[in-house]
Amino acid sequence: MNDRTLNYADAGAIVSQEQRNKVLRNTYWLLALSLLPTVAGAWLGVSTGITRGLSGGLGLIVFLGGAFGFMYAIEKTKNSAAGVPVLLAFTFFMGLMLSRIIGMVLGFKNGSELVMTAMGGTAGVFFVMASLASVIKRDISGMGKWLFVGAMVVFVGAIVNVFVGSTVGMLVISTLVIGVFSLYMLYDLKRIIDGGETNYISATLALYLDIFNVFQGLLALLGLGGSSD
């Protein structure tokens, strides 16, 4: 994750506009494709309940082990033909992990509406951040360090709350997740546009994680509200 905090202004100066547009275009296509395994994984998890037993510490270990293992594999294969299949396998795994909270929310009377609202909200955030990234002219690479710190705070807080089980804690963490990763979305999009990221697989991974976290944060907030209906 540290490479997302580096200044990309100098790197962008030597990348042609044509190459930047190609990376952005390939990233959008692969990002759209990566959502299909995510949906398939979420559907499989909800319909079969295979992830239902992954709660508490066990769920945390499986999630962190799988996620970081896949991210390591993606980093190693991003310049080879295996990069895309590994990324898509990762998004399927993330869909499986997401099925736990989706299944919980779908258990509410208005569960389907909450899931659709979270999807619409995530799409809205992405549209706003993509629009901002295309019009902002100033260098925002300095945001990376602060966003990394924010992500680490959220990460540690989320792990602690797995064992504490605080509803208020989940509310605060979910709100922070939405804020931090919405800004990360802007940062990562601007990084591609400015030529700071020239590998579309790495770019897709970064944006996918941003979208995943924003969606999960929105779904958790809506789920907390829906549970009181």
Distance CA 101, CA 178 (A): 16
Number of structural domains, the chain?
1
In a domain, 175, yes or no: yes
Q: Residue 2 has what pLDDT?
A: 41
What's the domain range around 81?
16-226
pLDDT tens figures, 95-115: 999 998 898 898 888 889 999
Please give the model's pTM, rounded to 2 decimal places: 0.88
In a domain, 52, yes or no: yes
In a domain, 2, yes or no: no
Supply the DSSP symbol for 202: H
Answer yes or no: are the C-beta atoms of 101 and 55 closer than 8 Å: no
Q: What average pLDDT does range 137-156 have in this prediction?
A: 89
* Neighbouring residues of 226: CB distance < 8 A, sequence distance ≥ 6: 105, 108, 109, 110, 111, 114
Answer yes or no: are the C-beta atoms of 5 and 144 closer than 8 Å: yes
Q: Residue 1 has what pLDDT?
A: 41
In a domain, 9, yes or no: no
In a domain, 24, yes or no: yes
Find the distance separating the first CA and the last CA of the chain, reported in whole Å: 39
In a domain, 11, yes or no: no
Place of tokens 């990394």: 148
Q: Residue 52 has what pLDDT?
A: 75
Place of tokens 């100033």: 138
With a cut of 80, say whether residue 217 has pLDDT above it: yes
pLDDT tens figures, 40-92: 999 999 999 887 767 666 777 888 888 999 999 999 999 998 999 999 999 99
What b/e sequence results for 100-132 when a residue is b if at least 16 CB atoms lie within 10 Å of its CB, and e otherwise? bbbbbbeebeebeebbeebeebbeebbeebbee
Distance CA 114, CA 111 (A): 5
In a domain, 132, yes or no: yes
With a cut of 70, say whether residue 132 has pLDDT above it: yes
In a domain, 4, yes or no: no
